[in-house]
Amino acid sequence: MTESKEPLTKKQAEILDYINAFVGSHGMAPTMYEIADHFELTAPTVFVHLQKLAKKGYIEKKNKARSMKVVGSGGKPKFVSQTLSIPILGRISAGVPLLSEENYDGVLSLMPSHVKGYDDSKPIFALTINGDSMEEAGILHGDHVVCIQDPNKKIVNGDIVVASIYNSETTVKTIEFKGDKVHLIPHNSKYDIQIYPKSDVLIQGIVIGLQRFY
């Protein structure tokens, strides 16, 4: 007996049909940008549709270009590109799902070898740095930091994290735990250490890489 899957929306079904047809005619899966061009959608919107198709069990995908496989289609599409397609998040806050469509602000493409600690089983995302509070750690205004979400990894003193403060900002800082307090430490003498109760701080990700464009 075939296991029933959650039904698709009209657009999800159209995208799934397109992926199937593309693999049949090209021998490999389409990229997110090819799907976006075909349907006249933005890449972040396509990314959301693909995430939902994967969650519903219709496709298998990794954070690599052309790594999609339609479940039950037989045969594995060729991986002609080994780049990671990493969503850039424009804003995130406590209480908002990290990979919500409203947060997307483009896509960053990197080779896996350029991202130390990359694990394709964990959600990965990038943030654009706004400000100079981490410049003495080599993280400058306009840089993209690459972050991984790993709820099973214990955060330790000295990790650089993406932290959302209850009813406040989301920030990239070095973290230290002291008793029932969390210290978020900037790397610029112009800024003070931020101290909050543990209950007011949500760790959204751990910084594992950096990309700078000149």
Residues composing the chain: 214
In this structure, are residues 176 and 195 in contact, taking their beta carbons and an 8 Å threshold? Answer: no
Helix pair angle (32-39, 43-55), 10° resolution:
110
- Write out the DSSP string of 114-146: GSTT--TTS-EEEEE--SSTTGGGT--TT-EEE
In this structure, are residues 146 and 161 in contact, taking their beta carbons and an 8 Å threshold? Answer: no
Residue 173, CA distances (Å) to 73, 112, 164, 182 in order = 45, 24, 11, 11
Bridge partners for 172 per DSSP? 162
Tell me how far apart the alpha carbons of residues 86 and 196 are, in angstroms, rounded to a whole number: 30
Active site residues: 133, 173
